[in-house]
Amino acid sequence: MSSSVSSPVLSSVPGQDDAMAFLMQAVARPHHAYLLAGPEGGGKQLAARAFAAALLCDRGGCGECRACTLALEEHHPNLFVVEPEGRDIHVETVREEIWHYAYRTAPEPGRKVFVLREADRLNPAAADALLKVLEEPPADSVFLLLSARPHELPETVVSRCHVVSFRPLSEDFIVSALTEAGVSPERAALAARLSGGNLGRARRLVTEEEGLAFRDQAVEALELARLGPAGALSAAELVVHGAERYRKGLSHVLDAELAPYLDEKGRPEEAYRAAIRRLQDRHKRRERRAERDYVDRVLLAASALLRDRVAATVGGGPDVAINLDLRPPDVPVSGAVAAVGAIEEARAALAEDLNLNVRLVLEQAFLRVQG
């Protein structure tokens, strides 16, 4: 189509050709709201950042200019990102971070782009507040809602959006995407399997220093837990401490990320002031969530190790193993089955209730490893 532009940032999103072709065509004359719908790890976030860059760049997403660079890092003053705090996106968040900016002049000349991650977590009041904005959309704004559970969004909100579908990515696709990026085939295969079809997570596993540390800690915790009740308590202690360390480390990383935008007195430079303040708020929220996120990743890794243990005894070969490079943990099978259940219960409980005592929940889960 003639309105379609060449957009290097959009072309660089892998594995979602139909969705990206649609967005590429939308850059020239965007609709006011899009719902990017599809499973976790299919590249919705990558696509949202790329689309935001394309909308904020004078050349439709060249991938090289200041606007593109800032948008891809989510530091562009005209890019507003909202994500759940705890389990929900609250109405105050929608008011303060969407409504407030939607009807004001953009910080920099040009469009404003609002990204709502995990949009299905809008609670009813927040969804209502968003709906009012979508019903009278400011002319210079584009809203991108992301969701792996679009059926949980109110129909009234969905009907205001153009739905762009993202498909699940196959393990083979993830392996080839990683090997093309220079990762060794063995490491790529392991990351693809461990991430359960989630490209973003697979990429983090191979690139981040912390990548496999979650699994190392899960291995250690299971070794302790099988020693008996005292070991189970030590296992919980180990994970609680790991989570605390992780939060502190994350806070350093986030500070370092902001450093280039601060002057010598540690104040945001004028041009970035509002954007940096929003980013600092988001960082605070991420730090608050960090310990829960960490615990969840360790539990997920422990659950995968225990599943491998069960699969190995029922004659499952390497095809069904998740941890391709490790022998399953030395836990009795009856214990492994019970523990997988207990660990999944613990994950669900921690996701549901932010006031639970993490240590207690972990102790209860690890006590069930011995069988």
User: Which positions lie near Zn ion, rule CB under 5 A?
Assistant: 57, 62, 65, 68
User: What is d(CA 153, CA 146) in angstroms, rounded to the nearest whole number?
Assistant: 11
Sheet holding 79-82, edge to edge: 79-82, 112-116, 141-147, 33-37, 162-165
Tokens linked to 270: 């004028």
Instruction: For residue 81, list its beta bridge partners.
Output: 115
Closer by beta carbon to Zn ion, 62 or else 213: 62
Closer by beta carbon to Zn ion, 112 or else 347: 112
Minimum CB separation of residue 73 from Zn ion in Å reads: 13
Instruction: For residue 82, list its beta bridge partners.
Output: 116
Minimum CB separation of residue 111 from Zn ion in Å reads: 13
Closer by beta carbon to Zn ion, 67 or else 221: 67
User: What is d(CA 11, CA 21) in angstroms, rounded to the nearest whole number?
Assistant: 8
User: What is d(CA 110, CA 114) in angstroms, rounded to the nearest whole number?
Assistant: 13
Closer by beta carbon to Zn ion, 53 or else 116: 53
Closer by beta carbon to Zn ion, 68 or else 205: 68
Instruction: For residue 19, list its beta bridge partners.
Output: none
Distance of CA 226 to the CA centre of its chain: 32
Minimum CB separation of residue 82 from Zn ion in Å reads: 24
- DSSP code of residue 195: T
User: What is d(CA 189, CA 179) in angstroms, rounded to the nearest whole number?
Assistant: 9
Residue 349: which residues within 8 A CB-CB, separation 6 or more? 356, 361
Instruction: For residue 89, list its beta bridge partners.
Output: 122
Closer by beta carbon to Zn ion, 49 or else 247: 49
Closer by beta carbon to Zn ion, 8 or else 154: 8
Minimum CB separation of residue 58 from Zn ion in Å reads: 7
Residue nearest to Zn ion (CB): 57
Minimum CB separation of residue 10 from Zn ion in Å reads: 11
Minimum CB separation of residue 144 from Zn ion in Å reads: 18
SS3 182: coil
Minimum CB separation of residue 66 from Zn ion in Å reads: 8
